[in-house]
Amino acid sequence: MQQEITAVAPRLKEPGEGLTLALTATLKRDLVLMLRRRGEVLNPLVFFALVITLFPIGISPDPDLLALIAPGLLWVAALLAALLSLDSLFRSDFDDGSLEQLLLAPQPLAALSLAKVAVHWLLTGLPLALMAPVLGIMLALPSGSYLVLAVSLALGSATLSLIGAIGAALTVGLARGGVLLSLLVLPLYIPVLIFGAGAVQAAIAGDSVSAHLAILGALLAAALMLAPWAIAASLRISING
């Protein structure tokens, strides 16, 4: 037994190297898996467009009114679209057992789950941020705020993915965790929504947006630092329980 271990060990010369290897492998694997299920990547985007379509129908097609509420609408709809995609973040890995392999891996689970969250953001948050300006045009969003909208959504959705992953990890072992997941995660999303929509509103009003974006960045930094540990602890609970 001892010999077998030493026979495998030489491939990983330093612990740090093993971590980089594991991180890139997780990133690559998740990207490939997600890109093979294009429907799942597209669904949040379609949902985003659909929800935005509902508002002019439900409220009023008047461009002046729409321009007034567009920042909030775009942010809330993008937030809900990101929320919708969270349930599948760990679900398939939980079902086929690869999540258990992640737990057994010698590399820290917090780092590996961070890689999974990064893929989730790349394929959900970032596309949503890129798509938002197009929907902004349809809502008569005043010009000059499109770049801020995209940047604030890109920054904010990374925080949303990190916080949401805690909820997804807590509910992945439950058969019907979907509604519960939104109940857990939505209250924690409120600060991001406030500063994200606030940035767009500040841009429309002609104020400086750097304060809003800086706070969004600070929220992201704090989430990057703390959320991986909570995600790892939650995954352990969901799998061992």
Partner 1 sequence: MWAFIHKLGSPKWFYGISARLEPWFWVAAALLIVTGTVWGLAFAPADYQQGNSFRIIYVHVPAAFLAQSIFVSMAVAGLVFMVWKIKVADMAATVMAPLGASMTFVSLFSGAVWGVPTWGTWWMWDARLTSMLILLFLYLGVIALRGAFTSRDSASRAASVLAVVGVINIPIIKYSVDWWYTLHQPASFTITSRPAMPTEMWMPLLIMVLGFYSFFIALTLMRTRNEILRRESNKRWVRDRVQEA
Map tokens 């330093």 to a residue. Answer: 14
Quote the least distance from Cβ 211 to partner 1, whole Å.
Answer: 10
Quote the least distance from Cβ 152 to partner 1, whole Å.
Answer: 14
- Angstrom CA distances, 60 to 55, 64, 197, stand at 8, 10, 21
Quote the least distance from Cβ 194 to partner 1, whole Å.
Answer: 4
User: Which residues make up the interface to partner 1 (CB under 8 A)?
Assistant: 166, 170-171, 173-174, 177, 180, 183-184, 186-188, 190-191, 194-195, 198, 219, 222, 226, 230, 233-234, 237-238, 240-241
In the complex with partner 1, the residue whose CB is nearer, 2 or 240, is 240
Rg (alpha carbons) of the chain, rounded to whole number: 20
In angstroms, the CA 110 to CA 80 distance is 25
In the complex with partner 1, the residue whose CB is nearer, 123 or 163, is 163
In angstroms, the CA 123 to CA 27 distance is 12
In the complex with partner 1, the residue whose CB is nearer, 146 or 229, is 229
In angstroms, the CA 131 to CA 33 distance is 23
Quote the least distance from Cβ 180 to partner 1, whole Å.
Answer: 6
In angstroms, the CA 150 to CA 79 distance is 13
- Taken in order 198, 200, 205, 206, is the CA torsion positive or negative? positive
Taking each helix axis as running N to C, give the angle between helix 88-96 and helix 210-240, from 0 to 180 degrees, rounded to the nearest 10: 20
Quote the least distance from Cβ 241 to partner 1, whole Å.
Answer: 3
Quote the least distance from Cβ 240 to partner 1, whole Å.
Answer: 8
Say if residues 203 and 121 touch (Cβ distance below 8 Å). no
In the complex with partner 1, the residue whose CB is nearer, 66 or 163, is 163
In the complex with partner 1, the residue whose CB is nearer, 135 or 219, is 219
In the complex with partner 1, the residue whose CB is nearer, 154 or 235, is 235
- Angstrom CA distances, 241 to 36, 48, 58, 74, 176, stand at 31, 35, 45, 39, 16
Among 120, 30, 117, 28, residue whose Cα is nearest residue 81: 120
In the complex with partner 1, the residue whose CB is nearer, 18 or 191, is 191
Q: How many residues does the chain have?
A: 241
Quote the least distance from Cβ 230 to partner 1, whole Å.
Answer: 5
In angstroms, the CA 211 to CA 96 distance is 44
Map tokens 């705020």 to a residue. Answer: 145
